[in-house]
Amino acid sequence: MKHTVLITGASSGIGKAFAELFAADGCQLVLTARNEVDLLTVQALLEVKYAASVNVIPLDLSAPNSPEELFQELQKQGITVDVLINNAGFGILGAFTETPLPDELSMIDLHVRNLTHLTKLFLPGMLERKQGGILNVASTAAFQPGPFMAVYYATKSYVLSFTEALANELRGTGIRVSALCPGPTETRFANRAEVGNSKLFSSSLMNAKAVAYAGYVGYKEGKTVVIPGFRNRLMAASVRFAPRNLVSMIVRYLHSE
């Protein structure tokens, strides 16, 4: 029996790469993102390349009622979701006093409120069937505070903490729960967040396909936290032992041009 995988933010980058991996695995796919044109392009690619069954639902998942709308639409179509990949996200670079509040509230809704809501909606069915899984895309930003990206770093800390707690609660249920924590990656994220010229993104970017593959393998192996790339794993480990004020100063420096 083929599993059905729901991927948010699937129109490009890591989400698109996840879609290819699960399509190659023979899964049925539900893809959602804001950009309908890009989603349809991904759908066509997967149908031709992998003969995959792909359902596309254009939706802005930062909107307040979007998780319920998505859930109801899938119920109406008779689609049961076995694996939920919460990948949709964006960032904003700038001093907190200068960045747009509406954008930051949308970020909180997308990364925190609606990720939690989607998990709440789809998890009971997985538990009833005693199979399935959740893969939340956090970030190496989750391991420390982020001056000049304060809200983004804080929301990703929530994603990591929430995922680790949920994984512990669901031990022995047959439900896999993983957090993927990528570092700087070649996606549209940098342009939208306006961090492309920062020191953080100036070198050693990982490829989105490599990041997704690491998350895919880690999820399959039942790992709770997956950090792709040796440099990223080293950074995540080192910040645990460094003074917090020093860590903040380093991150502040990395966000400068």
Task: Encode pLDDT of 125-171 as tens digits.
Answer: 999 999 999 999 999 999 999 999 999 999 999 999 999 999 999 99
3-state secondary structure of 93: coil
Q: How far is CA 91 from CA 150, 216, 221, 236, in A?
A: 10, 23, 29, 19
Taking 70 as the threshold, does the pLDDT of residue 81 lie above it? yes
Q: Residue 12: is its pLDDT beyond 90?
A: yes
Q: CATH classification of 4-254 is 3.40.630.30, yes or no?
A: no
At 205 the pLDDT is 77
Q: Please give the pLDDT value at position 42.
A: 97
Return the beta strands (E) in the chain as ranges. Answer: 4-8, 28-33, 54-58, 83-86, 132-137, 175-180, 185-186, 206-207, 225-226
| The pLDDT of residue 245 | 80
CA gap 225, 146 in Å, rounded: 20
Contact 236, 143 (CB under 8 A): yes
Residue 192 in this model has a pLDDT that exceeds 70: no
pLDDT band for position 202 (50/70/90)?
A: low
User: Pick the catalytic residue: 50, 152, 158, 216?
Assistant: 152
In this prediction, residue 236 carries a pLDDT of: 84
- Asked if residue 74 lies in contact with residue 30, where contact means CB atoms within 8 angstroms, the answer is yes
The verdict on whether 152 is a catalytic residue reads yes
pLDDT at 194: 58
**Is the pLDDT reported for residue 252 higher than 90?**
no
Parallel, antiparallel or unpaired: strands 185-186 and 225-226:
unpaired
Task: Find, among 212, 234, 215, the residue nearest to 223 by Cα.
Answer: 215
197-206: average pLDDT: 65
Report pLDDT for 249.
76
pLDDT tens per residue, range 13-45: 999 999 999 999 999 999 999 999 999 999 999
Q: Which residues contact 120 (CB under 8 A, 6 or more apart)?
A: none
SS3 220: helix
8 A C-beta contact, residue 4 and residue 29:
yes
Please state, in angstroms and rounded to a whole number, the distance separating the CA atoms of residues 33 and 39.
Answer: 7
Long-range contacts of 24-29 (CB under 8 A, 24+ apart): 24/50, 26/2, 27/2, 27/3, 27/52, 27/83, 28/2, 28/3, 28/4, 28/52, 28/53, 28/54, 28/55, 29/4, 29/5, 29/53, 29/54, 29/55
**Residues 46 and 54 sit within 8 Å (Cβ to Cβ):** yes
- Percentage, residues of the chain above pLDDT 90: 79
Report the pLDDT value the prediction gives residue 38, as an integer from 0 to 100: 96
pTM here is 0.92
In sequence order, the 6+-apart residues with CB closer than 8 A to the CB of 106 are: 62
> Where is average pLDDT lowest: 56-70, 147-161, 243-257?
243-257
Average pLDDT, the chain: 92
Buried b (16+ CB within 10 A) or exposed e, 62-85: beeebbeebbeebeeeeeebbbbb
The identity of residue 202, as a single letter, is S
Structure tokens, 188: 């549209």
Q: Which of 156-165, 176-185, 195-204 ranks highest by mean pLDDT?
A: 156-165
- Domain residue spans of the chain: 4-254
